[in-house]
Structures are given as structure tokens and as C-alpha cells.
Chains A and B, each alone.
Chain A
Amino acid sequence: MGATLNSAASGTANYVDERTSIGGFVKFFARKLFPDHWSFMLGEIALYSFIVLLISGVFLTAFFVPSMETVHYEGPFATMHDVEMTKAFESTLVTSFEVPGGLLMRQTHHWSALLFLASIMVHMCRVFFTGAFRKPRELNWLVGFTLMILGLAAGFTGYSLPDDVLSGNGLRIIDGVIKGVPLLGSHISFWLFGGEFPGTALIPRIFTAHILLVPGLILALIALHLFLVFLHKHTQYPGGGRTHRNVVGLPLFPVYTAKAGGFFFVVFGIIALVASVFTINPVWNYGPYDPSPVSAGTQPDWYILFIDGLLRMWPGWLFGLPTEWELWGYTLSLNILIPSVIVPALFFGFIALYPWIESWATGDKGEKHVLDRPRNVPVRTGIGVGMIVFYVILVLEGSNDIVASLFHLSLNDLTIFFQWGIFILPVLAFWITKRLCLGLQRKDRELVLHGHETGTIVRHEHGEYVEVHSPLDDEERWVRVSFDNHKPLEIAPERNDRGVARKGYRWDRFKQRLSRFYYEERIEPVTPEELEAAHHAHSDAPSAHGLADAADAKGANERLDDEWEELDEGATKK
């Protein structure tokens, strides 16, 4: 049986290969190496929840009716009996209450949407803090960034489909934001809704966007994203044997086929469990869209909250001055435009362009394949934490009614606190994080120079007590001394020898300023000379100490030889 199977397989392989030369691809891909680290799974979670979205989404399309025609509900859910509603809302009730497995799939779809966006954002943070966006991966950072924006679009259009009170209100807010666009606002609103809000055109239109346009784009960009990952080969964390010129890891087949493939099923399984146990978006409790009712404390999906937070935070009157202006009879709604368009554009724009901004400051044109430990780039890490704090404040302000009632605070005081906090707290977070990173780097130096504390106290001949320190092993030391010691850029002077002004000086000057901001304050890595000196200081100490050192050094040397052999083997393998 085994033999026939084998010959069948080789027969098929031969058939396909003669027509596609797929053998070359298989040879190339099958044993491609991937480094191992838990943080590399974050992107995978995003990918897998997207696949679950596709599967559950296709299920839902079989029952969802994207229509704003009206019907009177006659289904089994008694509370809604005879209520006038759109077919979109009715079909959502049908999916929930009359299709076995339908509610499960709705909830699977919604939970995986939440997970999809959460994992994209955490994945982005990982890439940011470890510097995985540096050359040659800047373009892939942009692809990932675009995927995040498309994810937001997919989520919002999906959330709007069931046409319940909450989603209708969300759309009305979007309508209000669109109307605030100067010059064209009212016409864009008419274009989107096919007339006045809510009209009868919107649900079919966003349905097309939701199931075709946006997922199509996401799929294409995921393909590009993964292609670039393969092309660049994965980054790796610093460690013995790892350089900017190699990848150390385990082969795609079978190890990652099993681990990553298996992980897909784990993600799917967990989403299914959550979806079968925890209700989400029970639209039957909200009722069909009606422009009149709304209740306090209702929330959009979490990924929309930051916009809501911005809208809540920006006051209509600032120190007695209006933030909506009438100019020559035209209305300019800065109270809508700034929070919902300008601030998000600046925030996201900064994120999108960050790799280039940092590269101006660094001036390093080499390829970077070994990741940074966040502490070793204190300013970047500080900026990242500052941005997270900025975002979290917006999310909290977006649910300030819930926060206020949870902690028994006054709603208005909370908003005023955040209005000041949004300026102060991110800067504070930046500063604290930077100090923490520098502190951690100092500790690293200490550790490299003086070794681990062992807790053993010995007594010198002359009666002094000291704690025995055991030196770091090679791996531990290497991780702490091998980081890039960036220094502020040196630039050519403004005028050449003949006193002629140089073109591009101002741009260089800007880069230099930026560079100083990043690298002026830094902790230098321990040099071999310092290490040597520290060792001498130690060997003056009691003999117990020196012995341990010697034994360890010997062991380490033996191991070193072993490993270089292995490295060589690996390298010749290719």
C-alpha cells in the first residue's frame, strides 16, 4: 500500500512538474529557514483570523440580503413581531434565529474581525519596537500599514450591514463627518447615500465594498506582504551565530508547516469557542435602524473608538472662541474636520512614514536583518510608547461614559482631563520610556562588566565581605555588547573652502538635528578593553572567584569551537 501511494505521488509530481516546473519552487521553498520567536506569531494570528473571516463571511453571504426594502417581521423572534424593518435587518434575524449554525457564524465572523484588527495592531507594534521596518523592509511596512487601514474599512463596512440602530447611528456620524468636508461635503454625502441620509442605496453599496472590494484588496496585499517576507527572509533576534548576513532557524517543511499550520487550527478553534459561548452584537436587542432613539453607553467596535474619542475631545468652543467658523457666508467646521480628518491623517501619516524618518536620523544605508532590542534604541522605543499612550487616551475618551461610570467620575471632568492629557501624557510617556531604556542599558553594562550576582558571600583574608559574581556566558554577553552604537550624524560645513554656500545644506542640517534628538544621549556598549580591565579588577579578589572564572572561560572556549564548526557546516549547506 505504501509503495503504491508513493508511486502515485511521484507520478502526480512528475505530471505537474513537466507542465509547471514546480520542482524548482518546491526545492526553493521546502527547506527555507524561519527563525523562532513567540512575537513572530502575531502576524500569523492576523493572517489566520482573516482566513476565518473569509470562511465565515462566505457562509453569511448565503443568507444575508443586502437590501433596504421594507418588510414586516413575521419570524419566530417574538419581540420583533410585525416591526417594520429593512430586508438587511430581517435577514440578519433569520440568520441568527432560523439557520442552525447561523448565529454561530455571525459571531465567529464578528469575533474574528475584532481579533484580526487587534493582532494587526500588536504585530505592527512588534515590528516597530524591534526595528524590523529598517532597510530593506520599508516598503513592506507600507504594505502592512495599508492592510491595517483596509482592515478598519472592512470592519466598519461589515458593522454597518445589519442595519440596526447602532450601525445606523455609526453611519449617521460618518455622514456628519463627510458633510464637514469643505466645499464638497454635502455632495459627497449625496454621492455615498444616493441622496439624503439614510436613503435606500447604502446597504447594497457597502455590501459590495465589504465582500468584494475591500477583501479583494486585502487578499492582494497579503500576497504581496508574504512575497516580500520570503524575498527578504525573516528577521531574527540578536544572538550567537546570528548576523545581518544569515538566517538561523528551522525549515518551513516540516517544522513550520506543522507549527504554523497547526497554529491556524488553534486560532480557528479558539475563535469558534469564543463565538459559541460569548454573544456579540445582539442586533435583535437593538432593533432595526430608526433615526430617533439612541441610548447612552452603547459602543462601536473597539477599533473605531479612537475616532469617537477625538470627536468627543475636540471642543466646539475653545477658551470662548468657536472652532466652527463662518467665512464669507460659508461654514468651516474645524470642530469636525480637525478631530476626524486632520489629526488621524497626521497620526497615520507619521506611522506610515516612520521608517524614512528614522533612517534620516541614522544615516545607515546597510541592510538590517538582526532585530534591535527595544532598550538599545531608547528614542524610538520612547516614541512608540508615546504613540501608544496617545492612542489609548483616545480609546478611553471614546468610551469616557463607561470609564466615568465605572470609576464614579464626572464625565466632563474626565473629558477635560483627557483634553490636557493628550498633550502632556504622551510626552511624559516618551520621556519616562527613554529614561527606562537608558537605565536598562546601564544595567546591561554592569552585568557584562561584573557578571551575575550569585548570592554567595565570601570573606576576604583581611576580613572584608564581598558577593561572588559569576561572569556571563558568551551568548549572554554577545547579546548585550553587539548592538549598533549609533552616533549623531556629522555633516559637511555650510560653505566650502572658497566660501560658496553648499546645496542641500539645510536638508543635512535638519537630518543632523533629528539625529541629535535620537542619538545625542546614549550608553556605549562595553568594549573588550573595559571587559579586560574589569576582569583584572576581579582577579585581585579572592581565589574562589578567579577559579570559577577560569573554569567558565575554558568551558566557553570549547563550546565556541564546537559552534563555529556547526556554523560552518550550516553555511556550506545553503
Chain B
Amino acid sequence: MSAADKNSSPYSDLTSANGHDNPGLPHHRPRRADVDKKAGKRAERQTALLFAISIIGTVIAIWAYFGLDIGDGGDVAAIQQINMWIGIGVFLAMIGIGLGAIHWAKTLMRDHEMVEERHELRSSDEARAGAIQNLKDGAEDSGLAGVERRGLLKGTLITALAIAPLSVLVPQIGNMGGDWNVSKFRHTIWGPGVRLARDPDGALIKASDVTIGSVFHVIPDGLHELDHAAMMNEKAKSVVLLVRLDPKDLTIQQGREDWSFDGIVAYSKICTHVGCPVALYEQQTHHLLCPCHQSTFDVANGAKVVFGPAKRPLPQLPIAVDDDGYIVAQADFDEPIGPSYWDRLKGGDDTAVEEETR
């Protein structure tokens, strides 16, 4: 080994090991086709057959594309037929070539193993010395090292290179965040007097429609008047679940005595874990289950977490009933809905955020 001590191995290179000698390559056993001309011919025919299957496959795919009737351009079943036949064509076209080539290699090409030496990857000592010398010479030529070290150049170059990317990145990143107004997370379009409507048809909800045990998926009235993009952003924050319990099952939370109406409570539908819609309500237990990671919230008790990865209760929407008997919001949520983020309890705008109660 040409290498220095550092690269040596205390273990053998396997020409012998643990006192035993390497027995050398096992005996090569000839295959049928190696000794029998007929077997060779047979293998050749089989391979050709496989290639022929591929040719047929290509023909099937092209026939399916041109030849099958697509219907009136809108017949889903017809399109699915075409897809399937093209697919089968592609399958045959590919597998024929593949199996053919492999069969050829296995039966007719060399299977007698050969041996090649490896060379150590480490470059020779001379090459290394040469490389180091070249770099030294180069550094000296540049003036960055050697007799006249131009320290000023080095310092400014490194600084320039380090900050140059900012000239592109700052504008790019700066532009990508829209208006950067992250306090939007705090608001939804709920507000005093906004009526509760059914999702998705927008029908308003009267308190008398809500029977005990029933559950309504709710959006704020007027949501659909927004343009689509704004509607999606608002809907992602403002969806609510409305549930009516037997008032005697309901534990009213402190400070929220007037947030419900005769056993009807409304909670944000956006999970306080990482934001899935909490859509599964179990009547008997009054539990709401988030299908994403199974956080379970107790609707009868302030939607507090009873199981799973969420920590905070679902935010409650304070509701009342207006003069026409419709359920309305008393105000927006009093905390940001959905997943937690670093500054969710910090002000930064006019929304008053109360300390969380639990």
C-alpha cells in the first residue's frame, strides 16, 4: 500500500483472512446454450418472440389512440377504455423489449465472471505535493498569500461575495409575502350581528331549526359575495360548527355566560393543532374529533382538549338570536383561530386579546 499509516487497515484485504486463504473463484458451470447449439438457437427464437411482443404492443397503443371511438368528446367511460388500451399497449411495448434483452443476456451473453483490479482512490504522494504546490503558486500569483499579502483585498472580496446574494434575495423574498400583514390572522369576517349561514348553500339558521343533538356546518352570511380568492381566505378562517346540547349537559365557561343561547354553542371549526377542519361530531359523548390527528374536543365543556395533539380549546364564537329569530354573532372571535404561532397573543393592532382561559 502506497498510502501513509493513516489509511492502513488492521484487517485483511481478503486475499486471506483470519488465517484462511481465499479459495479463488468458484468453478464456472457452462449453461445449456454454451454447449448445445440447439439450445442456443432456441434461446434466440424466444428472445425474438419477446421483441415481437413489444412491436405488437406499440401497434396496440397507437391503434387505441386513433382507432377507438372517443364518443362525443365527453364520454367518460369511452375515455377510460382508451386509457386502458393505450396502457396495455405501453405495457407490452416495454416489457417485450425488457424481457427480451434480459433473456438474451442470461442465455446467450457471457456469464463467466471476469476480474478487474481496483486502485486505491488516494492520489499518489507526488500528485498531492504537486496539487499543494500549484495552489501555493496560484495564491502567491494572486497576492492573497506569500510575500506581499494583500489583506485588504481578501477582506473586501469575502465581504462582497458574502453580501452580494442579498441584492437579489432581499427584493425576491420581500415581494413574495404580499403585504406581510400577519395580523390578518387575528380577524375573521365575523362581527356583531353577522348571521350564521349553512355551509355550503348559505341558508340562514333560525334558533328554532336547531334541535338538540343536531350539528350545523356554518359560514358567515355574506361570505359568498366576496370574490373567490378573498372568499377562500376568509372561509379558511371563519368556518364554525354549531351544536345544540341539552342545557343541563352544558358546562358554561366562566366569563362566557352569555355566549351561548339555550344550549346552542358555536365553535371555530379550525383545529388548534395544525389547522384541519374539525368535522366529526359524536352525539353521545359531545366530542368533536379532528380527522387529521385525532384531537378530541369536548363541546359540552368549552371545547377543551380531551385527547390528542392539540393543546388549546377551539375558540368560541359568541352568539345570540336577533329580532327575526336568526342566530347571529355577537362579535368576532376573541383570539386568533387555528394553529398557534409565536406572537398569537401579542397585540400589534387594535384587537384586544385576552389571556387564554382554561
A interface with B by C-beta (< 8 Å)? 32-33, 36, 68, 70, 75-77, 84, 97-98, 100-104, 108, 136, 169, 172-173, 175-177, 179-187, 189-192, 194-201, 231-233, 238-251, 254-256, 258-259, 261-270, 272-273, 275-277, 289-298, 308, 311-317, 322-324, 326, 329-333, 335-336, 339, 363-367, 369-370, 400-401, 411-412, 415, 474-475, 477-478, 481-485, 525-529, 556, 559-560, 562-564, 566-567, 570-571, 573-574
B260-295 Cβ-contact flags toward A at 8 Å (1 or 0): 000000000111011111011000000001011111
**How far apart are the CA atoms of A365 and B305 in the complex, in Å?**
55
Residues of A within 8 A of B280 (CB): 296
Can you name 18 A-B residue pairings with CB atoms under 8 Å?
A: A70-B228, A104-B83, A189-B341, A195-B177, A195-B184, A197-B233, A199-B178, A201-B176, A243-B22, A246-B117, A246-B118, A266-B98, A273-B87, A292-B279, A296-B280, A333-B311, A366-B11, A401-B291
**How far apart are the CA atoms of A108 and B88 in the complex, in Å?**
12
B96-133 Cβ-contact flags toward A at 8 Å (1 or 0): 11111110111001110111111011000000000000
Asked if residues B179 and A195 are in contact (CB atoms below 8 Å), the reply is yes
Q: A273-B91, A324-B311 are in contact. Are A190 and B342 (CB under 8 A)?
A: no
**How far apart are the CA atoms of A573 and B113 in the complex, in Å?**
13
**Quick check: is B199 within 8 A (CB to CB) of the other chain?**
yes
Whole-angstrom distance between the Cβ of B174 and the nearest chain A Cβ: 9
Stretch at the interface among B242-250, B251-259, B343-351: B343-351
Residues of B within 8 A of A84 (CB): 228
Q: Select one of A200, A265, A370 contacting B94, CB under 8 A.
A: A265
Minimum CB distance partner of B353 in chain A: A329
B65-109 Cβ-contact flags toward A at 8 Å (1 or 0): 100101001111001101110111011111111111110111001
**Quick check: is B63 within 8 A (CB to CB) of the other chain?**
no
**How far apart are the CA atoms of A190 and B182 in the complex, in Å?**
7
**How far apart are the CA atoms of A198 and B228 in the complex, in Å?**
11
**How far apart are the CA atoms of A294 and B277 in the complex, in Å?**
7
Asked if residues A335 and B235 are in contact (CB atoms below 8 Å), the reply is no
Residues of B within 8 A of A323 (CB): 311
Residues of B within 8 A of A275 (CB): 87
Asked if residues A186 and B8 are in contact (CB atoms below 8 Å), the reply is no
Residues of B within 8 A of A566 (CB): 24-25, 28
Q: A101-B65, A245-B13 are in contact. Are A76 and B102 (CB under 8 A)?
A: no
Asked if residues B217 and A292 are in contact (CB atoms below 8 Å), the reply is yes
**How far apart are the CA atoms of A33 and B276 in the complex, in Å?**
54
Asked if residues B113 and A250 are in contact (CB atoms below 8 Å), the reply is yes
**How far apart are the CA atoms of A366 and B79 in the complex, in Å?**
60
Asked if residues B342 and A186 are in contact (CB atoms below 8 Å), the reply is yes
Q: A258-B104, A291-B235 are in contact. Are A180 and B27 (CB under 8 A)?
A: no
Among residues 321 to 345 in chain B, which have CB atoms less than 8 Å away from a CB atom of chain A? 338-345
Residues of B within 8 A of A185 (CB): 341-342
**How far apart are the CA atoms of A551 and B74 in the complex, in Å?**
78
Residues of B within 8 A of A483 (CB): 17-18
Q: A241-B26, A329-B345 are in contact. Are A262 and B118 (CB under 8 A)?
A: no
Whole-angstrom distance between the Cβ of A63 and the nearest chain B Cβ: 13
Asked if residues A98 and B79 are in contact (CB atoms below 8 Å), the reply is yes
Residues of B within 8 A of A336 (CB): 273-274, 309, 339-340
Residues of B within 8 A of A249 (CB): 113-114, 116
Residues of B within 8 A of A250 (CB): 109-111, 113-114
Q: A255-B110, A258-B105, A333-B339 are in contact. Are A294 and B276 (CB under 8 A)?
A: yes
Asked if residues A316 and B311 are in contact (CB atoms below 8 Å), the reply is yes
Q: Select one of A33, A330, A415 contacting B294, CB under 8 A.
A: A415
Minimum CB distance partner of B71 in chain A: A76
Minimum CB distance partner of B68 in chain A: A100
Asked if residues A269 and B90 are in contact (CB atoms below 8 Å), the reply is yes
Asked if residues B339 and A482 are in contact (CB atoms below 8 Å), the reply is no
Whole-angstrom distance between the Cβ of A220 and the nearest chain B Cβ: 20
Q: A291-B236, A412-B307 are in contact. Are A186 and B185 (CB under 8 A)?
A: yes
Among residues 1 to 37 in chain B, which have CB atoms less than 8 Å away from a CB atom of chain A? 6-11, 13-15, 17-20, 22-28
Residues of A within 8 A of B105 (CB): 254-256, 258-259, 262
Q: A101-B83, A259-B101, A567-B25 are in contact. Are A173 and B115 (CB under 8 A)?
A: no
Residues of B within 8 A of A200 (CB): 229
**How far apart are the CA atoms of A267 and B95 in the complex, in Å?**
8
**How far apart are the CA atoms of A103 and B78 in the complex, in Å?**
12
Minimum CB distance partner of A484 in chain B: B11
Asked if residues B309 and A173 are in contact (CB atoms below 8 Å), the reply is no
- How many residues of chain B have a CB within 8 Å of chain A? 119
Q: A196-B185, A294-B277, A330-B343 are in contact. Are A574 and B65 (CB under 8 A)?
A: no
Whole-angstrom distance between the Cβ of B234 and the nearest chain A Cβ: 9
The 5 residue pairs across chains A and B that have the minimum distance between CB atoms: A276-B87, A366-B9, A176-B274, A76-B74, A262-B101
Q: A177-B274, A312-B294, A331-B340 are in contact. Are A233 and B24 (CB under 8 A)?
A: no
Asked if residues B92 and A269 are in contact (CB atoms below 8 Å), the reply is yes
**How far apart are the CA atoms of A370 and B10 in the complex, in Å?**
15
Asked if residues B76 and A567 are in contact (CB atoms below 8 Å), the reply is no
Minimum CB distance partner of B93 in chain A: A269
**How far apart are the CA atoms of A295 and B290 in the complex, in Å?**
9
Q: A312-B294, A324-B311 are in contact. Are A485 and B18 (CB under 8 A)?
A: yes
Q: Select one of B289, B293, B338 contacting A308, CB under 8 A.
A: B293
Minimum CB distance partner of B50 in chain A: A262
**How far apart are the CA atoms of A323 and B311 in the complex, in Å?**
7
Q: Select one of A179, A298, A366 contacting B291, CB under 8 A.
A: A298
Minimum CB distance partner of A289 in chain B: B232
Whole-angstrom distance between the Cβ of A101 and the nearest chain B Cβ: 5
Q: Select one of B84, B98, B293 contacting A312, CB under 8 A.
A: B293
Q: A262-B105, A367-B121 are in contact. Are A172 and B340 (CB under 8 A)?
A: no
**How far apart are the CA atoms of A562 and B356 in the complex, in Å?**
84
Asked if residues B279 and A195 are in contact (CB atoms below 8 Å), the reply is no
Minimum CB distance partner of A366 in chain B: B9
Asked if residues A173 and B275 are in contact (CB atoms below 8 Å), the reply is yes
Asked if residues B114 and A180 are in contact (CB atoms below 8 Å), the reply is no
**Quick check: is B219 within 8 A (CB to CB) of the other chain?**
yes
Residues of B within 8 A of A239 (CB): 26
Q: Select one of B92, B308, B340 contacting A180, CB under 8 A.
A: B340
**How far apart are the CA atoms of A31 and B18 in the complex, in Å?**
33
**How far apart are the CA atoms of A44 and B271 in the complex, in Å?**
43
Asked if residues B305 and A317 are in contact (CB atoms below 8 Å), the reply is yes
Asked if residues A259 and B342 are in contact (CB atoms below 8 Å), the reply is no
Most A CB atoms within 10 A — which of B79, B115, B305?
Answer: B115
Q: Select one of A233, A316, A370, A527 contacting B116, CB under 8 A.
A: A233
Whole-angstrom distance between the Cβ of A65 and the nearest chain B Cβ: 16
Residues of A within 8 A of B346 (CB): 329-330
**Quick check: is B206 within 8 A (CB to CB) of the other chain?**
no
Whole-angstrom distance between the Cβ of A534 and the nearest chain B Cβ: 14
Minimum CB distance partner of A173 in chain B: B274
Residues of A within 8 A of B96 (CB): 265, 269
Minimum CB distance partner of A315 in chain B: B309
Minimum CB distance partner of A364 in chain B: B9
B174-214 Cβ-contact flags toward A at 8 Å (1 or 0): 00111110101100000000000001100000000000000
**How far apart are the CA atoms of A330 and B348 in the complex, in Å?**
13
Residues of B within 8 A of A238 (CB): 14
Residues of A within 8 A of B236 (CB): 172, 196-198, 291
A181-B342, A475-B23, A485-B11 are known; give 9 further A-B pairs, CB within 8 A: A101-B86, A240-B25, A269-B98, A272-B94, A313-B309, A333-B339, A564-B24, A567-B115, A570-B114
Residues of A within 8 A of B121 (CB): 136, 231-232, 367
Q: Select one of B23, B80, B276 contacting A563, CB under 8 A.
A: B23
Asked if residues B295 and A316 are in contact (CB atoms below 8 Å), the reply is yes
Asked if residues A331 and B86 are in contact (CB atoms below 8 Å), the reply is no
Residues of A within 8 A of B22 (CB): 240-243, 478, 482
Asked if residues A326 and B345 are in contact (CB atoms below 8 Å), the reply is yes
Whole-angstrom distance between the Cβ of B1 and the nearest chain A Cβ: 9
**Quick check: is B168 within 8 A (CB to CB) of the other chain?**
no
**How far apart are the CA atoms of A289 and B293 in the complex, in Å?**
19
